[in-house]
Copies of this chain bind each other. A is one copy, B any other.
Amino acid sequence: MTATTDISKAGAARTIISVDAMGGDEGPATVVAGISRAAQKNSNIGFILHGPKAELDNLVAKRKNLTGICEVRDAKDVVLMEDKPAQVMRHGKSTSMWSALESVRNGEATVCVSCGNTGALMGLSVMRLRKLDGVYRPAIAVLWPSRNPQGFNVMLDGGADIRADAKDLMQYALMGISYARNGFGLARPRVGLLNVGTEEHKGRAELKEAYDLISANAKKADFEFVGFVEGRDLPGDRCDVIVTDGFTGNVALKTGEGIANLIGDLLRQAFRYTIWSRMASLLAFTSMRRLKERIDPRRVNGGVFLGLNGTVVKSHGAADAMGVSAAVGLAFQLGQSGFSEKLAARVASAAMLSDVEENEGDSE
């Protein structure tokens, strides 16, 4: 079931995205510019926007294409980047972040988007939306530019929890498959388990256990398990879904960003170096822009919290209007496809399967 609050009054059923307008580095004007941009690209989208009402009403009024499809919900306080998650969870009831999650909790919206403090957003999301039945650790799914036809791979966990045991990793695989089906449109996603080598005997003990668990679920849950993969497969084409714990995933993610930024800066320097290279940069302008768009972190913007009753998209704190638009576009795609419900069904059926197995294994 998709939440379809009829904000527009014009009649058409819209997929409603709940947006936290505050807490990003660029302020609410950028968020409003971002959702306006997303509305140009996606018809049947609607918004509930959370933050100081007067300020937001003003910003929304300036964007003609938001008329009738964007409701403003007043929230006077803001979660700051330096706020401790525990503090926000105790005293954050009047914040725009809390309010934004509330719209998903009460079914008015299907997906929540925020550029704010990741730790606080994760903490609040778990507290207010609660974990799906059978999920022990929720995860952040992040996108990698890749050599696959869909242009991206999905990796989880990108940093929700620094620990993950074998059963968690198996659930990440199931959640990742739902994401790849609904986000990439792949019928039978290929899953890899991140390790230091592709040989079966390598790596930590919990990885070998996870290997067996994922392997056992592959037949039932209709996905392909390619086995262990390595860091170089994150942007590669050996699989579509890469599963790892949140410590390793977060280090890999930030390493990839660091290398991409270093190369980008060196490339700009190289184009400035001689008169010839400056001419070259003019000639190659369009091709280079295409390249930049392909690997631009803003296009890959939007870590997605999975394993909760509802989906939450975390946009980059420094996201500009294009970044916010990308995150909202992703939220819309996931909302429209009924992603949350499909994921819940998948996890529930896997939990049932493993219960059956455990009972079968009993000696009674």
B203 touches A247 (CB 8 A): yes
Q: Which residues of B contact A194 (CB under 8 A)?
A: 251
**A258 in complex: contacting residue of B232, B251, B273, B290, CB < 8 Å:** B232
Tallying the copies of this chain within the complex gives 2
B-chain residues with CB within 8 Å of residue A273 when the two chains form the complex: 286-287, 290
Return the contact of A256 from the options B246, B255, B282 (Cβ within 8 A): B255
- Least distance between A167 CB and chain B CB atoms (Å): 19
Of chain B, the residue at the smallest CB distance from A277 is B287
A261 interfacial contact with B, CB 8 Å: yes
Chain B hits for A10, CB < 8 A = none
Number of interface residues of A (CB under 8 A): 57
A250: interface (CB < 8 Å): yes
Residues of A217-234 whose CB lies within 8 A of B: 230-234
Which residue of the partner chain B has the closest CB to A267? Answer: B291
B260 and A286 within 8 A (CB): no
Assess whether A290 is in contact with B270, with CB atoms less than 8 Å apart.
yes
Q: Are the C-beta atoms of A256 and B256 separated by less than 8 Å?
A: yes
Q: Do B284 and A276 touch across chains, with their CB atoms under 8 A apart?
A: yes
Q: How far is the CB of A221 from chain B (nearest CB, A)?
A: 26
Residues in A283-317 with C-beta less than 8 Å from chain B: 283-284, 286-288, 290-291, 294-295
Contact B270 A277 (CB under 8 A): no
| Chain B residue contacts of A231, Cβ below 8 A | 250-258
Contact of A252 with B255 at beta-carbon distance under 8 Å, contacts A277-B287, A283-B283 already known: yes
Does A279 lie at the interface of the complex (its beta carbon under 8 Å from any beta carbon of B)? yes
Closest-CB distance, A79 to chain B (whole angstroms): 16
How many Å from the CB of A190 to the closest CB on chain B?
A: 17
Task: Judge if A145 is at the interface, Cβ distance under 8 Å.
Answer: yes
Say how far A224's CB is from chain B's closest CB, in angstroms.
21
Determine the distance from Cα of A248 to Cα of B274 in the docked complex, in whole angstroms.
Answer: 40
**Interface: A345 (CB within 8 A):** no
A187 at the interface (CB under 8 A from B): no
Assess whether A162 is in contact with B196, with CB atoms less than 8 Å apart.
yes
Cβ of A105 under 8 Å from chain B: no
A1 contacts B by Cβ under 8 Å? no
Tell me which residues across on chain B come within 8 A of A61, comparing CB atoms: none
Question: With contacts A203-B247, A252-B251, A271-B287 known, is A263 near B261, CB below 8 A?
Answer: no
CA distance A146 to B280 in the complex (A): 26
A→B interface (CB under 8 Å): 145-147, 159, 162, 194, 196, 203-204, 230-236, 244, 246-248, 250-263, 265-267, 269-271, 273-274, 276-277, 279-284, 286-288, 290-291, 294-295
